[in-house]
Amino acid sequence: MRAVDIIMKKRDGGELSREELAFIVDGYVSGEVPEYQVSSWLMAVFFRGMSFRETADLTDLMLRSGASMDLSGIAGPFVDKHSTGGVGDKVSLVLAPVVAACGVKVPMMSGRALGHTGGTLDKLESIPGYTTRLDEKRFREYIKRDGFAMTGQTDAIVPADKKLYSLRDVTATVESVPLITASILSKKVAEGAEALVFDVKSGPGAFMKTVPDAERLALSLVNTGKAMGKRIVGVITDMTEPLGKMVGNFFEVEESIDCLKGKGPADLMEVTYRLSAWMLVAAGLAVDVDSATRLCEEAVASGRAWDLFVRNVKTQGGDSDRMMSLYGNYRSAHVRALRAPTAGFIQSVDAFKIGLAGVYLGVGRNRTSDPVAPDVGFIFEKKKGSRVEAGDTVAMVYGKDAGSLDAAWDLVSGALSIGPARPASAPLIIKEISAL
């Protein structure tokens, strides 16, 4: 077999056999197939797509490139949630303790900020002392004891994705439904969950900019996951505006604390409860999403979810007292107000521009090795639909230094649009696809 023939077949719209896909994936991991040929193959896949069978084979081959978590010996049910990436999306920090408080075990393996989207690991690591580098033994132990644990992807899990994702990132081949499906699902299947709930974001702040594209990705994740023996739900949610009022690493920890204390913003709570509820249904702990939502609300109202969150912070090395003393105070000295240029109603706050501006401010990163800052980002006082007068503060914007605020400012001010009439409200939960 030769890589060039496989590239040519895909370039001309052919369907690759499992053996041909293995030749590329295994060959890339072992170093036998060079990066320039894998890059060409990725671009051919980007333009020609993959059949359902090819996507399932690619996912399985990537999964088999490394180890899987062994959760045997721990009582389930094991369910995880994965978001395709957004801005202000701190749902995982709230959902994991809520769902664990209801009896689900959550083996959560998350990622870092990349491009305009935020990363759960960076948010958690802004809590002084908190570590997301857990070995398998500790990951297992914490899930067993606390009901959930939060870790990063280890080198042993899906090494093929580590290499392929980095290559996609620099070859403009990220936004491909089969490649995203195989990348996400291989990692999620490796972490050992029996059922998965996917939050497929749709809108300017998401990888999938339109609802039909998000639907294609959701269907691909659901169908491929089902073929791999998992119970799957795909929920398409809106990512036109940042979720909640805060964007930034510790800022989002603060907002998660508010949520767990019953004071979270309505949009963030709506998405969090919906995804949490599906996890309970997927776990078999509730018969439908409405009754499951009530169980999740009760986990917050009773304080059980908050207690579990604090317990997890301590378990993973975090200083919960220091976290609470930083609450409301952990703010960079470099701050500027985003003010309404005219009177009217806020039509939108563009999540993509806010996310990109966040990279300049120090919230996110361009490369996985770049550092991020804990005390920078956005605190919104007003969002879509708010009435403003000229000069009103819409958000306080914090940067790592004065230069970062200057560099971000065109994006920040360009994110805000104001018009004469109150905009129509759009649903946050756009569509749900269940294969339970």
Per the CB < 8 A criterion, the answer to whether 51 and 15 are in contact is yes
Closest CB 227 distance from ligand URA, rounded Å: 18
Nearest-approach distance from CB 129 to ligand URA, in angstroms? 27
Which of 55, 65, 154, 183 binds ligand URA (CB under 6 A)? It is: 183
Q: How far apart are CA 42 and CA 25, in angstroms?
A: 11
Q: For residue 184, state whether it binds ligand URA (rule: CB under 6 A).
A: yes
Q: Which of 34-42, 180-188, 240-248, 282-290 is the region at the interface with ligand URA (rule: CB under 6 A)?
A: 180-188
Most distant CA pair in the chain, distance: 68
Q: Is 30 exposed, middle or buried (0-12, 13-18, 19+ CB in 10 A)?
A: exposed
Give the H/E segment covering residue 338: strand 334-339
Assign residue 114 a region: left if phi > 0, alpha if psi is -120 to 50, beta otherwise?
A: beta
Comparing CB distances to ligand URA, the nearer of 111 and 128 is 111
Min. distance of Cβ 174 from ligand URA in angstroms? 6
Q: Is the Cβ of residue 153 or residue 256 nearer to ligand URA in the bound state?
A: 153
Question: Would you say 62 or 412 has its CB closer to ligand URA?
Answer: 62
Nearer to ligand URA (CB atom), residue 165 or residue 380: 165
Stretch of 101-109, 178-186, 197-205, 275-283 lying at the interface with ligand URA (CB under 6 A):
178-186
Instruction: Please tell me which residue in 60, 146, 161, 199 is annotated as part of the active site.
Output: 161
Q: How far is the CB of 375 from ligand URA (least distance, A)?
A: 26
Residue-by-residue DSSP string for 359-413: HHHTSS-SSTTS---SS-EEEES--TT-EE-TT-EEEEEEESSHHHHHHHHHHHH
Catalytic residue among 126, 183, 186, 202: 183
**Closest approach of ligand URA to the CB of residue 94, in Å:** 20
Is 26 an annotated catalytic residue?
no
The residue within the footprint of ligand URA, chosen from 28, 41, 42, 85 (CB under 6 A), is 85
Closest distance of CB 119 from ligand URA, Å: 10
Asked whether 397 and 338 are in contact (CB, 8 A), the reply is: yes
Sole window of 19-27, 177-185, 210-218, 278-286 interacting with ligand URA (rule: CB under 6 A): 177-185
What mask, x for binding ligand URA by CB under 6 A, covers residues 224 to 263?
A: ----------------------------------------
Per the annotation, the verdict on 116 as an active-site residue is: no
CB nearest ligand URA: which residue?
183
Query: What gap in Å lies between CA 344 and CA 341, rounded to an integer?
Result: 10
Of the pair 165, 250, the CB lying nearest ligand URA is at 165
Say whether 187 is catalytic: yes
The stretch among 6-14, 54-62, 172-180, 377-385 that binds ligand URA (CB under 6 A) is 172-180
Q: Cβ distance 176 to 45 under 8 Å?
A: yes
CA–CA distance, 380 with 248 (Å, rounded to integer): 11
Phi and psi torsions of 416, nearest 5°: -95, 125
Total residues in contact with ligand URA, by rule CB under 6 A: 8
For the question of residue 186 being annotated catalytic, the response is no
Q: How far apart are CA 203 and CA 86, in angstroms?
A: 9
Interacting residue with ligand URA among 24, 87, 109, 180 (CB under 6 A): 180
* Min CB(64)–ligand URA separation in Å: 17
* HEC sequence for 120-134: HHHHHHCCCCCCCCC
For the window 130-169, what string marks contact with ligand URA as x by the rule CB under 6 A? -----------------------------------x----
Q: How far apart are CA 303 and CA 17, in angstroms?
A: 53
Residue from 168, 201, 245, 382 carrying the catalytic annotation = 168
**Residue in this structure with the two tokens 């896949």, named with its chain if needed:** 45
**Burial environment of residue 373 by CB neighbours within 10 A (0 to 12, 13 to 18, 19 or more):** buried
404 belongs to the catalytic site: no
Distance CA(323)–CA(178), nearest Å, equals 40
Measure CA of the first residue to CA of the last residue in the chain; give whole Å. 40
Residue 243 · residue 73 · CB < 8 Å: no
In the complex, the residues that contact ligand URA under the rule CB under 6 A are 84-85, 165, 174, 179-180, 183-184
User: Would you name the residues annotated as active-site residues?
Assistant: 82, 161, 168, 183, 187
